[in-house]
Structure 1
Amino acid sequence: MPIEREMSMRALLTGLLLGMLLTPSNVYAGLKIGWSFNMSIIALLIGFGFWQGMATRFKRQPSWTMHESNINQTAASAAASIVSGGLVAPIPAYTLLTGKALAAGPLIAWVFSVSFLGIWIAWYLRPSLLNDRALRFPEGMATLETMKQIYSHGQEAAKRLSVLFGAALFSALVKIVDTFYWTFPRWAPTAQVERLTFTFDPSLLLVGFGGIIGLRVGLTLLFGAVLAWGGLAPWLLAQGLVELPPGSTGPQFALLVEWLLWPGVSLMVCSTLTALALRLIQTRKRKQGRASSVLGQRPAWAPALCLGLAVLLIVCLQMLLFDIDIVMALLSLPLAICLAAVAARVVGATGIPPIGAIGQLSQLGFGIVAPGQVPINLMSANTAGGAAGQCTDLMNDFKVGHAIGATPHKQMIAQCLGILAGSLVGVMVYKILIPDPQAMLLTQEWPAPAVATWKAVAQTLTYGLEALSPSIRWAMLWGGLAGLLLGALDAIATERWLRWLPSAPALGLAFILPASISLMMALGAILAWLFSLRWPALAERFVIATAAGLVAGESITGVGASFWQLLNNL
């Protein structure tokens, strides 16, 4: 049987180019709604569609092999997942709390380094995790099934691509019109409702994300928005716990969220940590498969040397960029390795990357070891979160590669080049979108819920609960108790009952997002559900492609519009 081409130049360049094009979508979405999107399947479809089309059009063009598709999606997903390195959470939170913003060069080095560490942790975890039958890696399996499907039915990939590009074009045109030609009205029935952020937001990105997250999460966001902004917010104003400036008009998101974020963060942190702990207990009870001693590893010195380089980079950058003591910098490394391993097992078992929980658990750990030190609390914890993010992304790619007989060290090369490209593009996009984090973040335009979460946890651990008003402390207590209950139910409930439970992370998120965003995401989830009821076969093939196109079209256009406005202001 002939050996397929694998790490060809065109496969690498295609993956890197797609990663650089898709990274802005995740940065934009992360700052808007606190979520990012796995880009493996999008990169897979685009790469296959282009190169297979070229092979058909020009007969001498060699066909695009399955192994090349795997290298392409590995590099692209690595670049797009660079947001887990801290760009949309601890790094902006650090700026908000300290007033210090890193220049582009040091920021690129930092984001790359924490991601580079995660890659080599994944390399050493690979033999045991891939042969553990209890770990299915659902995201990786979804990519693998899509790959098998498009190679069995080539026309299917072309149809899905047409839908994706059509949705992206429509979303981009709506964003262009709204930005440059005619601003769509942000309508609200009354001034009181508008003040509580219940306005119409003509964002197709939000509708697309609603289609991706599903009905359970979408309805939870709707319920959370009604509870937080329709119930608690008017009560806060009536009781004088939040006071608005005289004569203020329009949505009052910035003032109200200063109170509402605390119960929301408590709910999210407690629920994610509870669910994480229970899932770990469950996975340990399952029978472990035997680890293969040989899975195509390179000589032992090569990965060890790269892991050592990653450690050196992390320690030096923590000391140079954040004035963190060498002992604390070194302490972040075993914690990062342990928590990345935890995250990889959870993703393998559930498909849910617990990056937020890993980051918050790290913050709690450093809050105990080094109380009152914001840089350590945020950036040492960022090491664990960033490493866990890249580790889980690569483990999903390894799962695909293992199933098709790919060469692991070639996937490592693609992943390393991917994070380099993602670091360069992601940091530049972040700098363009948010030139002034202190003035722009935690606002109606850029709610940045992940930033709010990291900032709130750091503030609590630094200044203590005594710095908060009694009403906020009571709200945090009730939010934490609700999170414990929902997190436990989420971990132990069967698939049949899970769909009837509210999503705890989404419920907490609704307290931090403007109600307008939650409403539009809920609308997208409901529309996707209704479509699946009426046309189930079509929904299975095209709903995710349509939703992904809506997300990509608006986000990439939004980044381009910000860049254009920046050039005009120079």
Structure 2
Amino acid sequence: MSHGPSQDATMSNDSRTASEQTEREGPSPTVPAGKSIAELTIKAVLIGLALNVVLLTANMYLGMRSGMTISASIPAAVISMGVFYALRNAGIGGTILENNIVQTMTSAGEALAAGVIFTIAGVTFLDQPIDIAGTASVAVLGGLLGVLFMIPMRRYLIVEKHEELPYPEGTACADVLEAGSQGKDGVKLISLGFLASFVYMWLASGMAAFRTTLQTAFSAGQTRGFAIGGDFTPALIGVGYIIGPKIAGYVFGGGLIAWMMLIPLLITGGFVPESAADATLMAQANAVWDEYIRYVGAGAMIVGGFYAILSMSGTIRDALGTAIADVRGSTAASEQRRRTQRDLPMKLVVVGAAVIALALVAVPQVQVGLLGGAIAVVAAFLFVAVSAYLVGVVGSSSNPVSGMAVATILIAALALKSTGVTDPVVVLVTASVVAIAAAVAGDTSQDLKTGYLLGATPRKQQIAQIIGIGISALFAGWVLSFFHQAYGIGSETIPAPQAGMMALISEGVLTGTAQWGMILIGAVFAIVLILMSVPVLPFAVGIYLPITLATPIFLGGLLRAGIDKYVAWNGDPDGSAAERTTYRGRIIAAGLITGEAIMGIVIGALYILEIGAATGAPFALGFGAETQTILGVVALVALLGIFTRGVLGGSRTADA
């Protein structure tokens, strides 16, 4: 492989030798490059499409509820292995590369969901309805940009930077797929988490048997408005466990700065919105967060996004070099590469990006204008590079898509305002294309890492991603509309914090009402963190999340730290017990998230079908507040106990 401009149309023998040498120096794939087995098959595509829609729905619910999504690759791989295990008993079966295609297609839905809920959902905060056709159009255009722009970066980021960029989910997913014999056990683990979460949320949301949210506001001396609390649901605890104590700690740290420092200072200083002047202290804290603190988070996110671009300048330059070299090369030269090195042609990237740019201007449901389309395509390329690099270090679940969207909104709003644009929806749509592209690129890079380790054909994975993007885009608008009809986007159940912030900034910049002072405070705060070598974006997420979301995420991170300490304390000289525990914990945590998301769909359907009570729990038991609180504590302890027992159950066995 060559990524410099010296590659010509004939692709010299030296180039082929260098290409082959690059692969030889990498890890030995599970399926050798010279061997071809079933990969992009009809049954793999059908299974992938079915799981794609399920995890698209689950992650849209989770993202609007918690402000974060998780990578669907590992859960999809485990479920896929379970399905293929059942098919094998029926005499059909499937190969490891077919399993890889399934998880590739499935995770495309999760990635696209993140971009949609962080941006497009913001139109509801601007009193606009969900446009199902428009959502599908924007989603498919942004998703395709994410896949296409990742193609010229694959060999540089995935192959040449193999040792530098571990791509944690991609590597873990390859390990899971290689341990195919564990498929049956993996399904049992995810089922444990799913059932525990499903029952927990039915008792809490379906029957109001106990309360999941505990929060309070208090004063200390002359300072008023300290606020703390948590909405202790399975999904949020599962998110915390997956991202780990370090990132969860950064998120919680941002929450403490917002709710235990900034909000008390503002309330004590008299900066309480008039609408909440006579409300309870907790209501005042929420009003101050909504009016001021989210702008602080936005300022921090903007600086963090631009800092990420500057840090990535070398990677972007190298990726462009690779693209230019491949565009100059011939199709025949591409076909001479080994199976494990063949991408979709670079000319497709160039033509595809041009067609998408035209579509952004011409498609009636989009129409961001010539300037908006140019901003979207250029920003998408830059942030695809940022996203693909960052997830190689921190993983897809910690991919700061919202920070990239905030930076795009600021640029687009200022640029479009200068041309007379006054509609914030146009700004949101422009940012949506970029956010979806960045999210999809992060996921695609993880999947390509998995394929690189397994010996998959990149071209077939890229085709699978495109198919997955297509089906996800078709369903995204319907799912978004369903949740809005069932709960109301921006409600207590699905607050959709990022979407609200995106709408707030878009409208504020265009109307001149943006809290520039608060944005500046956030920006300065981010600069201080950068100078201290502290990650900016997790802190910023914590600032603009309600404290009730940051706290349970931190609890999940603490749970993981505690379990890891326990395993180490019991003796684990070769690290095998810790590895098994990590595997089991991630799978059960994914089950917790999926169970709550599916229950959210069930409860929403009951509301829409007018089954049970129209407000509150459909089948409330009528317990008093004190009883609900006590039972809530008991239920939380039971949930943590079930989770811990499930994780540790196989930590000292030979099979996870």
Range that drifts further, 558-567 or 220-229: 220-229
Q: Return the match for 1:92 from 115, 121, 134.
A: 121
CA distance in 1, matches of 2:498, 2:550: 15
* Partner amino acid, structure 1, of 2:359: L
**1:181-237, Cα deviation, whole Å (9 max, x unpaired):** 124235658674898663452311111111112112223333333332233333333
Residue 185 in 1 paired to residue 211 in 2? Answer: yes
1:566 aligns with 2:608: yes
Counterpart CA distance in 2 for 1:274 and 1:113 is 26
Residues 47-86 of structure 1 mapped to structure 2, 5 A cutoff: 47-55=80-88, 57-58=89-90, 61-85=91-115
Indicate conservation of the 8 Å contact 2:212/2:231, yes or no: yes
C-alpha distance in structure 1 between counterparts of 2:529 and 2:315, whole Å: 17
> Displacement, 1:172?
0.8
Q: CA deviation at 1:176?
A: 1.0
The one of 497, 504, 508 equivalent to 2:540 is 508
1:369 aligns with 415
Q: Which moved more, 1:142-151 or 1:61-70?
A: 142-151
Aligned to 1:223: 253
1:380 paired residue among 430, 455, 470 = 430
Q: Deviations over 1:311-354 (max 9, x none)?
A: 3432223xx23553334434532343344244334444664644
Gap change, CA 1:70 and 1:451, over 3 Å in 2: same
Q: Is 1:170 the equivalent of 2:196?
A: yes
User: Does 1:132 find its partner at 2:160?
Assistant: yes
Is the aligned partner of 1:329 residue 2:390? no
Per the alignment, residue 121 of structure 1 pairs with: 149
Q: Which amino acid aligns with 1:480?
A: A
Distance 2:429 2:194 in 1: 36
Q: How big is the shift at 1:298?
A: 5.3
Change (3 A) 1:316 1:187: closer
CA shift digits 1:266-308 (9 cap, x unpaired):
123223432442344588799x999886342456776665445
Selected match of 1:343 from 372, 387, 411 = 387
Which residue in the other structure is 1:21 paired with?
Answer: 54
Match of 1:11 among 41, 44, 64: 44
3-state SS of paired residue (1:568): coil
User: Is the deviation greater in 18-27 or in 300-309?
Assistant: 300-309
1:209 matched to which residue of 2? Answer: 239
After the TM superposition, which residues 86-485 of structure 1 pair with which residues of structure 2 at under 5 Å, given as runs?
Answer: 87-97=116-126, 99-133=127-161, 137-139=165-167, 142-151=169-178, 153-185=179-211, 188=214, 192=218, 198-243=228-273, 244-246=276-278, 248=280, 251=283, 254-257=286-289, 258-280=291-313, 294=334, 295-297=341-343, 306-317=352-363, 320-321=364-365, 324-348=368-392, 351=395, 353-371=399-417, 373=421, 374-435=424-485, 440-441=489-490, 443-464=491-512, 467=513, 474-485=517-528
Aligned to 1:493: none
SS of 1:198 mapped into structure 2: strand
Which residue identity does 2:433 align to in structure 1?
Answer: T
Q: Which has the higher contact order (CA 8 A, sep 6+)?
A: 1
Q: 1:489 to 1:96 in 2, by over 3 A?
A: same
Whether the aligned pair in 2 keeps the contact of 1:207 and 1:521 (CA below 8 Å) is: yes
CA contact (8 A) 2:247 2:538 kept: yes
Return the offset for 1:135: 7.4
AA in 2 matched with 1:52: Y
Q: 1:566 to 1:436 in 2, by over 3 A?
A: closer
The 8 Å contact of residues 117 and 311 in structure 1, kept in 2 or not, is answered as no
Once the two structures are TM-superposed, the CA of residue 505 in structure 1 deviates from its matched residue by 2.4
Separation (CA, whole Å) in 2 of partners of 1:221 and 1:395: 24
Q: Secondary structure at the match of 1:241?
A: coil
Greater shift, 369-378 or 199-208, is seen at 369-378
Contact 1:14/1:72 (<8 A) preserved? yes
Q: What is the letter of the counterpart of residue 81 of structure 2?
A: F
Match of 2:592 among 544, 550, 556: 550
Tell me the amino acid that sits aligned with residue 38 of structure 1.
Answer: S
SS in 1 for 2:417: coil
User: What is the CA–CA distance in structure 2 between the aligned matches of 1:189 and 1:463, rounded to whole Å?
Assistant: 35
Percent identical residues: 21
Q: In structure 1, what is the Cα distance between the partners aligned to 2:413 and 2:237?
A: 38
Q: Which is higher, the Rg of structure 1 or of structure 2?
A: 2
Q: Could you list the runs of 5+ residues in structure 1 that have no partner in the other structure? A: 491-500
Match for residue 498 of structure 1? none
SS in 1 for 2:609: helix
Q: Distance in 2 between matches of 1:512 and 1:331?
A: 26
Contact 1:366 1:376 in 2 (8 A): no
1:42 equivalent in structure 2: 75
Tell me which residue corresponds to 1:495. none
Tell me the SS of whatever aligns to 2:272: coil
SS at match of 1:371: helix
Separation (CA, whole Å) in 1 of partners of 2:516 and 2:36: 63
Q: 2:361 is matched by which residue type in structure 1? A: V
Contact 1:186–1:201 (8 Å) recurs in 2 = yes
Aligned mates of 1:296, 1:440 — CA distance in 2: 43
**Within 2, Cα distance between the matches of 1:142 and 1:227?**
30
